[in-house]
Every structure is written in structure tokens, then in C-alpha cells.
Amino acid sequence: MFDVGNPHYQYLFILPIIVWVIYLVYKSWRKRKQAELADSALFAQINPNHSNRKSVIKHLFQFLGLTALVIALVNPKIGTRLETITRKGVDVVFAIDVSKSMLAEDVAPNRILKAKQILSKAIDELVNDRIGIIVYAGKAYAQLPLTSDYAAAKMFLRTIDTDMVPTQGTDIGNAVEMALSYFESGIKQNRVLFILSDGENHEEGALEASQLASENGIIINAIGLGTIQGGPIPIKRNGMIKGYKKDGSNNVVVTKMDPEMLQQLALSTNGAFIDGTHTKETIAFIKDALAKMEQVESETEMFTDYEDQFQWFLGLALLFFILDFITPNRKTLWLRKINLFGK
């Protein structure tokens, strides 16, 4: 496995190449100028101790030293390290409504983007908790299993949109049932489900599913997205609004948040409801809900991590620069006898 610690410095790899090209151009120019003054045999007689080969070797040391220095700056990370950790926290699952009504812009920028914004900031507040993500409309799908890898959670979060579930509707019950499969059996004191939805046009069975969740120790907290007044559902192409969704009578559909249903869903599991219009207040609501949960020590997990390797290349750069410093331009007298560097 391989990674780099400072990828923004990779452009510096061109620096040793530029230095080497400049050296070659200079060497070619110098050779031409010498040829204009006198031939190589005469120069050899004028300066018999000068070594052309050592000059090349010194510049090679400089090139290699500079290259190693750039590699050290980029900080390659290779190899893996396995560590055993014990996690003590809460298992939290977020179920995000991705039905078309979530495109309404009665909350800025729209309901689905507001949900993603809330979830992204909530992930930033997690420490030892495991997070799972479910998306649902007319049917629920597992987007991310329980994990403590928050970077992966944010990556999956970015892919969420209202086109990922083909079956339209708002089947919250199916989302609650899927959340049951996320949690381990036998542990009922650290399970919490946050539902981010406008609660509109929900299918039958939501409250029945919440009762099943309550029996399994799952607390449901609901975050309402949208307004009571509601708003139309825009139809966009290339980011531009081309119209609004209409019903069979050609009237513009106005989607409204249904806080009553969401409140019932939460209260049936001793959870709570909040209007998600204000992100800061909603994040505080999530943090407070998690703080009330009993933390449970889970199984030991194994994870890999990269190890920094910059120190090796830094030492190599220092070695090359020392070799350049101690290597003279003149021929070594005792080596002249064996003609190691030539005349």
C-alpha cells in the first residue's frame, strides 16, 4: 500500500529535472566555447589534474540529493501497520429521505442538501461512535454499514441524491426495518436512529415499525426538513429550473413537511423531534441525544495505517550532498596511476 502525506508538493519533482537540463545545456555550451579557444589535447596539458568524469559525478550527486529532498518533502507513506483498538461509544444510523419532495427549496438550498449538510457536520462531531447511513424513498437501501471510518462516511454522503432510489414514495417504515439489521443482537442500550425527512406521503406501517424498533432498544429521533407552508418541486436541467412538478390536473404540486407524523414516530420510541431548519441547533440536538446514550464497549477492531517514510529520503539527500561536498573536481593523485577517472 502506498500514499503520500503532502501531495500538493508533487509538482516539485520537475525541479531536479530542470536543474539537470540546465547543467547539460551549460556543459554543452562550455564545451563549444573551449573548442573555439583550443582543442581538448591543449586543455589537458594546461590543466592536467582536472577530471571531467568527477565533474559529472558531482552533478549527479547534486541531482540525486535534490530528488531525494523533494521525495522527503512529499512524504511517501508505504507499508501498513495493524493496531488493535477497543471502541466504546454509540451505534448511530442516519436514514435520509431521498424522495423527489426533498428537492423543494422551502429551506435553503433545498431539503436534500440541507439533510446532507446536517449529516456532514454531525459526522464531524463523532469521536468513538460508529455510523451507518440508509437512504429511502418508496424503498430503503443500505448506503453505508456501521463503521468508525468517518472519511468513508463523508465520501458516501457526497453520492446521495434524489435519483438513487427508483421507487418513489416515503416508506419510513421500511427504513426503520432496515435499521434493525444494522445493530448487533443482544445489545440494546446504545442504538439510535436519526430520520431526516419531510415526513410527507409516508406509506403505511411507519408507526408499526417504530414499535418494533422500540422493542429492540432503538431510539428514533426525527429531524424535519421543510416548512408547514411548503413549496413546489422544481424540475432542473443543467442546474436551471425548467418548471415545477404537476399533478394529473396540471396543478403545481406543493409539498409540505408533516411534523405530526415525525413527532409520533419519535415519541413512540422515547425519542424527540426537531425542525431541521437551523443547522447549528440541529447539530446541538444530535450531540445532546448521543450524550444521553449509554456507551458500550464493542468488539476489538483492526485497522491499517500508513507509516511516514520521509526520514529515509532526508537521510539519503544528506548523504548525496556530503558526497558532492567531499568529491573534488581534481583527479586524485593515487588514482591517476590506475587511470580510474581517465585523462
Which pLDDT tens digit goes with each residue over 283-311? Answer: 999 999 998 887 777 654 555 566 778 88
Cα–Cα distance, 161 to 144 (Å, whole number)? 14
pLDDT of residue 193: 93
Confidence of residue 46 (pLDDT cuts 50, 70, 90): low
- pTM of the predicted model as reported, rounded to 2 decimal places: 0.62
Q: Tell me, what amino acid is at 11?
A: Y
Question: How many residues are given for the chain?
Answer: 343
What are the structural domains of the chain? Answer: 2-75+309-336 (no CATH), 86-300 (3.40.50.410)
Residue recorded with cell 472519511: 151
Cα–Cα distance, 243 to 236 (Å, whole number)? 7
pLDDT of residue 56: 81
Contacts of 158 (CB under 8 A, 6+ apart): 116
> Long-range contacts of range 316-321, CB-CB < 8 Å, 24 or more positions apart?
316/64, 316/65, 316/68, 317/65, 317/66, 317/68, 317/69, 317/72, 318/65, 319/65, 320/61, 320/62, 320/64, 320/65, 320/68, 321/61, 321/62, 321/65
Q: Is 270 exposed, middle or buried (0-12, 13-18, 19+ CB in 10 A)?
A: exposed
Check whether 223 has a pLDDT greater than 90: yes
State the average pLDDT for the chain.
82
